[in-house]
Amino acid sequence: MNIHEYQAKDLLRGYGVAVPRGGVAFTPEEAASVARELGGPVWVVKSQIHAGGRGAGRFQDNPGGKGGVRVVKSVEEVSSNAAEMLNHVLVTKQTGPSGKEVKRLYVEEGADIKRELYLGLLIDRATGRVTIIASTEGGMEIEEVAHNTPEKIVKVAVDPATGIQGYHTRKVAFALGLEGKQVGAAAKFIQAAYKAFVELDCAIVEINPLIVTGSGDILALDAKMSFDDNALFRHKDVAALRDEAEEDPAEIEAAKHELNYVKLDGNIGCMVNGAGLAMATMDIIKLYGAEPANFLDVGGGATKERVTAAFKLILSDSAVEGILVNIFGGIMRCDVIAEGVVAAARDVKLHVPLVVRLEGTNVALGKKILAESGLPILSADNLDDAAKKIVAAVKKEAA
């Protein structure tokens, strides 16, 4: 789960990470009142969307205008810029061409930027350790820095048995070219960010840019936090920060029915039980020259209702031109699946080809239910046969 910049800064501030003062605003009036409270002379009005590249992004209705992060010098300008941004669609490198509507702003005191650095914390899957990533090349996308000038990135892995130590933070501080009192300030900053990362079960904490101000202070000018969904149950306060408007509606619907659904770019919808079988199904669709429209694992103990919900979810994607159901009835019986498939196909007035491959407990009964349903369901005997049939059926429809 991701959260907004202002929420991340509030959480990090609570751990002792140095962040500028600021406040969230949902209207231009609120933005002006936050600005008055902060006091001038410089404010920054920042679009709050779950995507980066806001500074360089442009509003859809004014591509020649200013971006999603604006530095202004009066309270009037705070509110006029807020009006130009709120309820307008911001397009950035990370939002894709359709952009994201800005519903909230963060109004912050302006900072005097001397240097823009990069600091990130993540779990390195190769070492299984929380790893600090730092670079002198802040303010730009770290992926680009990693690609063009990998020597400008330093990585420091933290052993969970020792936790973060002075030599970790010093290594980072020196790599960032910090000196004097900044080394101590950076140590405090990094320790606090690490504590937040571990205690809140984060997947990513990214400060880009981390700045050095004219007076030599270190501040988080931007903050991104992403959390491990599987640990959210023990962080009710973090879970409450979820902004559903920023998430894929189909994925929210899936979560309600305990379905693991990830939307993809292809045209063949997949309904499978078990993540491994779902991956294999996607692979074999690709092998036969087509692309899956989604990953969907209905789980081991799926009910008829859940199968129906899964079916509707797949069909809510207008790119879907055919569906492949691939179920191994182990704990779940094939006849229950077949009933669910038939009920759902009737319910949604199925309009695309459907191939069903069932195997396992009560498979004969399951196939009988499908055959006697009167619905145009193509039955398959194995995974290979199923993939060939659905790819051919979709190609035939398109021709």
Exposed/middle/buried for 262, CB within 10 Å: 0-12, 13-18, 19+?
Answer: middle
In the chain, what is the greatest distance between 2 CA atoms, to the nearest angstrom?
80
- 128 to 147: interface string for ligand GDP, x by CB under 6 A: -----------x--------
Question: Using CA atoms, how far apart are residues 119 and 243, in angstroms rounded to an integer?
Answer: 25
DSSP lists the bridge partners of residue 377 as 354
Chosen from Mn ion, ligand GDP, none, partner binding at 204 (C-beta under 5 to 8 Å by type): none
Contacts with Mn ion, 61-80, as mask; x by CB under 5 A? --------------------
40 binds ligand GDP (CB under 6 A): no
- Residues at the binding site are 46, 53-55, 108, 111, 116, 208, 222, 273, 330-332
Angle between helices 334-347 and 363-371 (to 10 degrees): 20
* Residue 44 touching ligand GDP (CB under 6 A): yes
Is residue 206 a contact point for Mn ion (CB under 5 A)?
A: no
Nearest of 262, 324, 320, 314 to residue 288 by alpha carbon: 324
Distance, CA of 67 to CA of 48 (rounded, Å): 12
Q: Which residue of the chain is nearest ligand GDP when measured via CB?
A: 55
Closest contact distance (angstroms) between CB of 207 and Mn ion is: 8
- Using the minimum distance from each CB to ligand GDP, give the nearer residue, 23 or 110: 110
The footprint of ligand GDP on residues 196-215 (CB under 6 A) is: 208-209
Q: CB nearer to ligand GDP: give 113 or 264.
A: 113
Which residue ranges are tagged as binding site for substrate?
273, 330-332
Residue 118 annotated in active site: yes
Closest CA to 33 of 44, 41, 21, 24: 24
- Return the residue matching tokens 């937040």: 196
Residue 311 · residue 250 · CB < 8 Å? no
Nearer to Mn ion, 43 or 311 (CB): 43
Q: Is 222 in the site for Mn ion (CB under 5 A)?
A: yes
Asked if 113 interacts with ligand GDP (CB under 6 A), we say yes
CB of 384 to ligand GDP, least distance (A): 46
The Cα 42–Cα 108 span in angstroms is 9
> In whole angstroms, how close is the CB of 222 to ligand GDP at the nearest point?
3
51 versus 290: smaller Cβ distance to ligand GDP: 51
Options 116, 124, 201, 217; binder of ligand GDP; rule CB under 6 A? 116
Q: Which does 107 bind (CB under 5 to 8 A by kind): ligand GDP, Mn ion, none?
A: none
Question: Based on CB atoms, which residue is closest to ligand GDP, 54 or 100?
Answer: 54
Q: Which span (105-113, 156-164, 188-196, 317-325) binds ligand GDP, by CB under 6 A?
A: 105-113
208 binds Mn ion (CB under 5 A): yes
151 is catalytic: no
The one catalytic residue among 5, 30, 137, 206 = 206
Nearer to ligand GDP, 139 or 299 (CB): 139
Q: Does 23 bind ligand GDP (CB under 6 A)?
A: no
Which residue lies nearer to Mn ion by CB, 53 or 274?
A: 53
- Min separation Cβ 71 and ligand GDP, Å: 5
Residue list, annotated binding site for Mg(2+): 208, 222
Return residues touching ligand GDP (CB under 6 A).
44, 46, 52-55, 69, 71, 110-111, 113, 116, 139, 208-209, 221-222
Kindly list the residues in this chain that would bind Mn ion in the complex (CB under 5 A): 208, 222
Give catalytic residues, as residue numbers: 118, 206
